[in-house]
Amino acid sequence: MGPAGQKQNPEYSSPGNSKNPKIQARGISKNLEYSSPGNSKNPKNQKNQEIQNKNFKNKNFKNSEKLENSRNSGDVMSVLNSPQLEKKEQNLKEYFSQQSSVLIAFSGGADSSLLASVAAETPGLKSMAVTIMSPLVPQREIEIAKKIAADIGITLRIIEKRMLDLKGIRKNELNRCYVCKKEVMETLSQIARTQGFDTILEGTNYSDVTGNVSRPGYNAIMDLNNKPGFDIRMPFVDLEITKSDILKISKKRSTLPADKPPMSCLATRFSYGTVLTPELLQTVDDAEQMMTKAGFSQIRIRCHTDQEHRKFARIELDKDEMGKLFDCKAGELSKDSKIQPVIRFLKEKGFSYVTLDLEGFRSGSMDL
């Protein structure tokens, strides 16, 4: 988080185009650049290479060996090399070859990582990935984004923003995702204008827009594209590349962690209308990180408050991992599960009850 006090509001206008409106930037407090080999157009970024290699060289994802075995499996490769999939991958490469410079909204998830990977391998293409860091983003996701960018070989710029300054986010309103995506894409548009990137790419995929699930982030992009000066493109939507396609293409690329569990922003851990604070978000992030280190892969700690203002922590885990918590013979929590420190931590932070959701992890369970 940036220092408290008056927000910075620098104005940016698109050079050479008086019709483009000036866009206000809120809360940009730090610009941290990470440079990877083979793609940076800025010589000063190369100075960061030794630091980057030192920080990320030895960090591996938990299931990397399992993933490598799956890449070498004949059955898997026959699926990954199907004519239909190869055609979609070729279309994606051609899409990038037609660009002169691209700025990629980069979270380190499967979608944006594939975009960054193809950009980095496209000859002559100027490219950079941008990650937004705020109290809403789990710290482990920032570290993963750094590692993936380093493995891919693309320059990564991290922008720290005070997203809680935005009312729709601070009060965890129903439109929080719309407000957040709009702010993020406005920030990227400013960077693109000032640093000479012609195209902004975002990782919404074809499955996202053809399903029945509401996509406020997609709506925010479409609304911005209706304004002068905005041109945000979604290659996976344009080329009808689905989530399944993305995961299959990613499995063929050794630099991409195709088995990485999906992650969502920390606001999804709270009921709508809950006033979000940095301290509250940090508590949940720390507790989830403790469980990650204890060996759990898919974790959500959902927070509720009853009429007596008592706080409940509801832990969602992958159903296959629930058994790690219990010693059935002893009829108690397993001493090997390392859950007791998490319980103590949450109670020290003011939670009256720490519970396990027997239905397991469910994306969007706070929307029920």
Q: For the chain, give every domain's residue range.
A: 11-251, 266-367
Average pLDDT over the chain, rounded to an integer: 82
The DSSP result for 142-200, as a single string, is HHHHHHHHHHHT--EEEEE--GGGSHHHHTT-TTHHHHHHHHHHHHHHHHHHHHT--EE
Q: Which pLDDT does position 336 carry in this prediction? A: 75
Return the pLDDT at 366: 80
Tokens in use for 34? 């990470």
- Please name the residues in contact with 125: beta carbons below 8 A apart, sequence gap of 6 or more: 96, 97, 99, 100, 101, 102, 119
Cβ partners under 8 Å of residue 182, min gap 6: 220, 223, 224
For residue 236, the model assigns a pLDDT of 98
- Please tell me the predicted confidence (pLDDT) of residue 282: 98
pLDDT tens digits, residue range 75-93? 555 566 789 999 999 999 9
The whole-number pLDDT of residue 80 equals: 65
**266-367 in CATH: which number?**
3.30.70
CATH number of 11-251: 3.40.50.620
Residues of the chain with pLDDT under 70: 1-80, 258, 368
Strand-pair partners of 316: 300
Question: Rounded CA gap, 278 and 164, in Å?
Answer: 8
Which pLDDT score is estimated for 37?
41
Residue 150, pLDDT score: 97
Determine the Cα–Cα distance for residues 298 and 317; give it in Å rounded to an integer.
6
At residue 61, the pLDDT reads 39
How many Å apart are CA 317 and CA 174, to the nearest integer? 25
Q: Which of 34, 83, 76 is closest to 54 using CA atoms?
A: 34
